[in-house]
Amino acid sequence: MRYAPAILAGRAVRFLARLRKPGGGSAVPGLVVNRIAPGFLPDTLNAFPRGLVIVSGSSGKSTTTKMLVGILRAHGVSVFTNPSTANISQGLTSALLERADLRGRIDAELGVLEMDEGHGALIAPRLAPAHVILTNVSVDQIDRFHDAAMVARMLDAIAARSSTSLVLNGDDALIDAVAPGSDATRWRYGVSTAVLGASARGLGYSTTSSDRVDPGSGTVVEALDGDLVSITHRGETVRFRLPARGVHYAVDAAAALSGAAAILGPEFQLTIASESFRALTPVFGRGEVTTVRGVEVEFVLVQNPASFQLNVDSLAADTEQILVAVGSDVRDPSYLWPVDTSRLGRVALVSGSKAWEAALQLGYDGVEIDRIEPDLGTALDAFLALPAPSHGRKTVIFTADSMRRTRAHLGLASNDQDDA
């Protein structure tokens, strides 16, 4: 009963937080528990009978986690996972509180956790993961951590904790080189030469490996046509539909397949895995289409320049009504300037606390801007009130802070938790 008082206190705060702000405030109860019982988080996470899986990296970890959990569940494994973006300690503790009994145990065979690299490196020494899956070190992390080498060191600290397997992006040289002294089995995934060649701007990695992953021993995205992907895993090929268009989703799928194979061992079946993708709905803000006030809206989350570019490039060509919102989570929008936004053509509204800086970039890229409205609530109301587009969907492209505010403003429930 070590954790009972802390868990009860946390639940009470969670309840109060919900009353106060619908759909918000998920980090608050976690803060309370972390203070009352600091061992709760690592003890609970290390107690899953089939072990703990950590998914980390610069970008793609939410999608990879969601795909992996889908594959594992399709194989009949019971999984605890953190709602994506609830990946800071408090948010994670809050997520655990939802499921833990009063002894601090969670009724699931396996834990799959998405962790951001900075936070993951901080708590890694207290965690004992069986499997670690790493996505990439993207070029644009300098905004938060001033160089790629530092991100690589953080991921190295997480990888070094893995006892059984390391599932690594073979196309990302920094990821491929982590934890050289580890005894864990190394599983590699990546894209074919053809897929890399078709990505005019590369894959956004800090350092792209010169060699491609061998489809005979690893997991390789062989071809991609819209949302239809062909992936070869150890010589066996499957074709299936991704939850959204874009090469980054295909790479996430390869990571998830490779990770599931590492975790499940002989239980893993590639056809069960590929069929599990059919049941996936996109994560909020990653291409999710929602009906708001009777209008269909597609929400696209921009986490860094690489995802900004990929999202601009993979936007349906006939999209004519766009809102772009850049919030205070982007301390300095300078690092977005290498992104070529000209393909947006015309934007109905630019919003968020960095609206003017965002508009300046769009303007220099030759994008027509109908209106700049820094107040996001006002901008969203105006955007939704615009007459329905004659073709394409209303599309909102936003950063994490603007996503949170959008959800709060529109009262959207979602499978996501707050990104505190």
Report, in Å, the least distance between residue 272 CB and another protein. 43
Is 388:367 a contact under the CB 8 Å cutoff? Answer: no
Q: How far apart are CA 348 and CA 271, in angstroms?
A: 43
Q: Which is nearer to another protein, 29 or 327 (CB)?
A: 327
Report, in Å, the least distance between residue 355 CB and another protein. 8
Closest CA to 95 of 109, 77, 79, 74: 79
Question: Which of Zn ion, another protein, none does residue 373 bind (CB under 5 to 8 Å by kind)?
Answer: none
Q: Can you tell me whether residue 64 is helix, strand or coil? A: helix
> Which member of 88, 92, 132, 253 binds Zn ion (CB under 5 A)?
88
Question: Which of Zn ion, another protein, none does residue 233 bind (CB under 5 to 8 Å by kind)?
Answer: none
Host H or E run for residue 6: helix 4-20
- Among the residue ranges 56-64, 87-95, 104-112, 255-263, the one whose residues contact Zn ion (CB under 5 A): 87-95
Contacts of 263 (CB under 8 A, 6+ apart): 50, 51, 53, 72, 110, 130, 131, 165
Q: Which is nearer to another protein, 152 or 229 (CB)?
A: 152
Q: Which is nearer to another protein, 140 or 222 (CB)?
A: 140
Question: In the structure encoding, which two tokens stand for residue 385, read together?
Answer: 């009130």
Integer-rounded Cα Rg, in Å, for the chain is 21
CA torsion, points 136, 140, 143, 147, in degrees to nearest 10? 70
Contacts of 44 (CB under 8 A, 6+ apart): 96, 100, 104, 105, 106
Q: Which is nearer to another protein, 139 or 397 (CB)?
A: 139
Question: Which of another protein, Zn ion, none does residue 146 bind (CB under 5 to 8 Å by kind)?
Answer: another protein
Please, which of residues 110-129 interact with Zn ion by CB under 5 A? Answer: 116, 118-119
Question: Which of Zn ion, another protein, none does residue 338 bind (CB under 5 to 8 Å by kind)?
Answer: another protein
Question: Which of another protein, Zn ion, none does residue 359 bind (CB under 5 to 8 Å by kind)?
Answer: another protein
Q: How far apart are CA 112 and CA 263, in angstroms?
A: 11
**Which residues of the chain form contacts with another protein (CB under 8 A)?**
142, 146-149, 332-338, 353-354, 356-357, 359-361, 363-364, 372, 374
DSSP 420: -
DSSP states of 202-260:
---BSSB-SSPPPTTTSEEEEEEETTEEEEEETTEEEEEE-SSSSHHHHHHHHHHHHHH
Q: How far apart are CA 88 and CA 115, in angstroms?
A: 7
Q: Which is nearer to another protein, 21 or 146 (CB)?
A: 146
Residue with tokens 């009860």: 8
Question: Which of Zn ion, another protein, none does residue 119 bind (CB under 5 to 8 Å by kind)?
Answer: Zn ion
Contacts of 143 (CB under 8 A, 6+ apart): 304, 330, 331, 332, 335
Alpha carbon 22 to its chain centroid, in Å, reads 23
Question: Which of another protein, Zn ion, none does residue 116 bind (CB under 5 to 8 Å by kind)?
Answer: Zn ion
Binding string to Zn ion for residues 142 to 161, with x set by CB under 5 A, is what?
--------------------
Q: Which is nearer to Zn ion, 61 or 394 (CB)?
A: 61
Report, in Å, the least distance between residue 385 CB and another protein. 24
Question: Which of another protein, Zn ion, none does residue 372 bind (CB under 5 to 8 Å by kind)?
Answer: another protein
Q: Which is nearer to Zn ion, 92 or 256 (CB)?
A: 92
Closest CA to 55 of 151, 143, 168: 168
Q: Which is nearer to another protein, 110 or 306 (CB)?
A: 306
Q: Which is nearer to another protein, 13 or 148 (CB)?
A: 148
Question: Which of another protein, Zn ion, none does residue 363 bind (CB under 5 to 8 Å by kind)?
Answer: another protein
Report, in Å, the least distance between residue 124 CB and Zn ion. 12
- Among the residue ranges 80-88, 250-258, 324-332, 390-398, the one whose residues contact Zn ion (CB under 5 A): 80-88
Helical pair 305-314 and 247-264, crossing angle rounded to 10 deg: 110
Residues contributing to the site for Zn ion (CB under 5 A): 88, 116, 118-119
